């Protein structure tokens, strides 16, 4: 039996799972006006996803490497994707539609036995508060307390509740829910907790 190298195995794993319906972002509508739309939505989203998977954290890095970024099973961009295109698109995307994509992804992974508990007889979900940094104009009513980075650039922290399936080998994030400025995460936990759970379908998180 031929043993495949690790890069080939990873490529084939990704190619198989990225053919699932969620990877085509079917629930995410294009918020842009049809006039002057130079880039189709799906290739832009696929390039953004490939950039995140490759460890690029800035739009400048995404633009510099966009012509080399490619998700297995999808065509590569023929020219460089401007960071301004992504910058203008991101704030317009519907958060609930993106959340539904996450839900579909987790359910697909569950059906493919990718979230099987490792070393435990049941699934374990860890729910904790996290702070996500964002620019002032993106924070809206969610931001809390203005900060400045080492260069003096102001940013805001948005508090969230994040649910992670810690019993699986991949430590998959099941849900992330923003919290308004006023209540503490402990005060908000009882009535937001049910939202962290149905991601994988009824009862699957507690099995």
| pLDDT tens-place string over residues 54-76 | 888 888 899 999 988 888 888 88
Instruction: Please give the Cα distance from 43 to 26 (Å, whole number).
Output: 13
115 Rama class: left (phi>0) / alpha (psi -120 to 50) / beta: alpha
Q: What value does the mean pLDDT take over residues 80-109? A: 86
Q: What value does the mean pLDDT take over residues 189-198? A: 55
Instruction: Please give the Cα distance from 43 to 81 (Å, whole number).
Output: 10
- Assess whether pLDDT exceeds 60 at residue 29: yes
- Assess whether pLDDT exceeds 70 at residue 18: yes
Residue of higher predicted confidence among 53 and 138: 53
Can you give the pTM of this predicted structure? 0.70
Instruction: Please give the Cα distance from 13 to 11 (Å, whole number).
Output: 5
How many secondary structure helices (H) and strands (E) does the chain include?
7, 4
Burial code (b: 16+ CB inside 10 Å, e: under 16) for 120-150 equals eeebebebeeeeeeeeeeebeebbeeeeeee
Q: Compute the Cα dihedral for 196, 202, 205, 206 and give only its sign.
A: positive
pLDDT band at 204 (very low <50, low <70, confident <90, very high): very low
- Assess whether pLDDT exceeds 60 at residue 181: no
* Domain boundaries along the sequence of the chain: 6-92, 118-206
Q: What value does the mean pLDDT take over residues 154-166? A: 76
Q: What is the pLDDT, as a whole number, of residue 206?
A: 38
């Amino acid at each position: 039996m031929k043993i495949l190298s690790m890069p080939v195995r990873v490529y084939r794993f990704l190619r198989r799972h990225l053919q699932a319906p969620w990877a085509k972002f079917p629930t995410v509508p294009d918020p842009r006006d049809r006039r002057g739309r130079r880039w189709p939505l799906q290739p832009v989203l696929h390039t953004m996803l490939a950039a995140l998977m490759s460890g690029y954290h800035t739009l400048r890095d995404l633009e510099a490497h966009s012509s080399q970024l490619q998700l297995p099973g999808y065509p590569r961009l023929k020219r460089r994707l401007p960071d301004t295109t992504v910058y203008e698109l991101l704030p317009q995307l519907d958060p609930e539609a993106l959340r539904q994509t996450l839900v579909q992804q987790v359910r697909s992974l569950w059906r493919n036995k990718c979230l099987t508990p490792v070393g435990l007889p049941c699934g374990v979900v860890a729910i904790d508060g996290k702070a996500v940094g964002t620019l002032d104009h993106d924070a809206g009513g969610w931001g809390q307390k203005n900060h400045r980075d080492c260069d003096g650039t102001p940013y805001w922290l948005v508090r969230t509740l994040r649910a992670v399936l810690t019993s699986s080998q991949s430590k998959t994030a099941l849900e992330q829910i923003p919290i308004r400025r006023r209540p503490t995460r402990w005060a908000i936990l009882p009535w937001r907790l049910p939202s962290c759970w149905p991601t994988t379908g009824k009862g699957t998180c507690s099995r």
